[in-house]
Amino acid sequence: MSFTELNFDFDALLASHSYREPLVIGGVRCHGGYDDCGNYVSPRTLNRVPAIRAWQERYRKDFGYPLLDRAMEDTPPNYPNVAQAKFLLRNGIREPMIRTLTRIGTVEGFGASIRFGAVEDIQRHFVEDLSGTATAHLTRGLYEAHARDEAGFDDEAGHKQMWWAARDIAFENPPVEDLAAEMRRAMGMPAEPLPLAEMMRRMAEQAMADRLLPADVDPMLEAQLARMARLLLIEINAFHTFVWAEAVLSDTSLVAGDGDPARIISFIRADETPHVEYLKCALSEMRERTFRGASGRAYPGRELIEAIWQRALATSARRGVEGRNAELAEITAALEGNPRRDELLEEFHALGDLRPGPDGQWVAIQDASGAN
């Protein structure tokens, strides 16, 4: 791939490698496949990955400024941590882990909507030419490839089904609940999926209610940027979840499947890298450019993207706490009726990085013991 190749059409960005063997899990054809050496190759990455690399290289050359990013160390570790999750499994408490895997698969499936709601012609909202950028390719393959990776497409399963497959192998087809309505509610969405037109109407309504940028900037563009920033933080945080799930699900003394569940998660993790990289690249490109309002007035991208990013960081921190509260509520519920409930719960907290403090706030474990 030469540095000059910066423009791709839709089909090129969705093209996959030719695999020696497709990825089939439990008889289900999944996306991606194996190369001649038997290594897993992510779907739709033949041109998408080199394209993202080329756009990022161009960005660095043009602006000499690092990409918008959030270091993994600045994001909270998974709750419960590996030791806590293994402790629960060792004591026969499997339900919280099974529900977590169901929930993650469910949310991956919501990724199907990434393809909807983008502004028609993003160039018209910017002063500078956007050709040869990730931003110009968002609706020319990047969103579509992302949506297909998460939710599957046609007869190929995606991450949604892959997480569920990992769960079913690890826990030998446990009884599972449909958690879609619960997850939609937790994410502020209506409990039932909406027809596309109604979803678009509500997205527009929401965009008007959530204004942060000057009124002159298209509210649908603002909503799109806010979604991208939120999504990027979710994708970055998710790497903690992958590391955690791989560590727990590779323990063959605790789960079935001879390590296959962890291998499936490692494939999903590989597929996620282009999601993080294109979102970082496009948001960074827009940050270094000038937005054009409906009146023709110019706005520095730096101010607008920074405002969007800061709000997304605050939302992410809030959701992190809500997520921990929900996990703990579920674990506590799973221990209900257990004669060793209090003892198990205390041992569980003692293994954690964080635990609920006396005032309901989460505190680092060394803080809780007064050691720090």
- Contact footprint for Fe ion (CB under 5 A): 108, 150, 159, 235, 272, 275
* Least distance CB 148 / Fe ion (angstroms): 11
Dist CA 324 CA 141 (whole Å): 35
Q: Which is nearer to Fe ion, 99 or 159 (CB)?
A: 159
Q: Which is nearer to Fe ion, 95 or 108 (CB)?
A: 108
* Least distance CB 268 / Fe ion (angstroms): 6
* Least distance CB 141 / Fe ion (angstroms): 15
| Phi, psi dihedrals of residue 308, rounded to the nearest 5° | -65, -45
| Phi, psi dihedrals of residue 194, rounded to the nearest 5° | -105, 155
Dist CA 310 CA 229 (whole Å): 9
* Least distance CB 149 / Fe ion (angstroms): 6
DSSP string, 38-81: S-EE-TT-TTHHHHHHHHHHHHHHHH-SPPP---GGGSPPPSS-
Residue 177 tokens, joined: 């609940």
* Least distance CB 111 / Fe ion (angstroms): 6
Beta bridge partners, 40, equal: 34
* Least distance CB 11 / Fe ion (angstroms): 21
Degrees to nearest 5, angle at CA 8 with 4 and 10: 175
* Least distance CB 165 / Fe ion (angstroms): 14
Judge contact between 112 and 158, C-beta under 8 A.
no
Q: Which is nearer to Fe ion, 58 or 159 (CB)?
A: 159
Q: Which is nearer to Fe ion, 108 or 222 (CB)?
A: 108
Dist CA 36 CA 19 (whole Å): 8
Q: Which is nearer to Fe ion, 114 or 213 (CB)?
A: 114
Q: Which is nearer to Fe ion, 218 or 272 (CB)?
A: 272
Sheet holding 21-25, edge to edge: 21-25, 28-34, 40-41
Dist CA 364 CA 321 (whole Å): 13
- Give residue 3's Cα distance to chain centre: 29
Q: Which is nearer to Fe ion, 168 or 235 (CB)?
A: 235
